[in-house]
Amino acid sequence: MQPNKLKKDNHQYITEMDKQLNIKRIAVMATDGFEQSEFKKPIKALRNEGFLVDVISLKKGKIKGWKNTKWGKKFKVDETINQALATNYDMLVLPGGVFNTDTLRTSKLAVRFVTEFFEQEKPVAAICHAGSVLIETGLLKGKQLTSYKSIKTDLINAGADWKDAEVVVDNKLITSRCPADLPAFCKSIIEELKKVIPANLQ
């Protein structure tokens, strides 16, 4: 099947209309236990700018957020990780949340998906504990980044140059520490996307 044909039941293929409208598409990968604010606010910011956002997860149906000290709301999954193609997206956004990131980092498909964005030199944005998923790619040596303080040592051991800042941008890698940094995180995501040539036009 050609890339400009659409499977109606998922987002695996870019539509001809997307090409005509020059629309950028972003993958937000998460599973149960993601930090709800770190999931909702970037998606809202991206959609407010007119970008298309697909929620990618390990399973079909809905995934459950974590809000403060208890389970939060459920959100619809657009695409499962075994169907999603990095070539169809212009950026990857990774919310934090301990349960979420601990599960994703042990999924070979999820780690491979993240790795493909680095290999294709596409922007990757990770906040809070999502840095632990980045470690599994083995591609952090020499990269400047930040994260939640509890995984600082893990990132340094992976070769990263860890900074204590609300947002760190290093050659298309955007990272922030925690929900309090979301305004700076979202702003940097939008700024980076505006530099990108859409995947459907490459």
Q: What is the CB neighbour count within 10 angstroms for residue 149?
A: 12
According to DSSP H, which parts of the chain are helical?
16-21, 36-48, 98-104, 108-119, 131-135, 152-157, 182-193
Active site residue 129: yes
128 in active site: yes
Residue in 11, 128, 178, 186 annotated catalytic: 128
Q: Which of 145, 164, 166 is nearest to 155 (CA)?
A: 145
SS3 content of the chain, % helix, strand, coil (to 5): 40, 25, 40
- Active-site residue, selected from the candidate residues 11, 129, 178, 186: 129
Active site residue ranges: 128-129
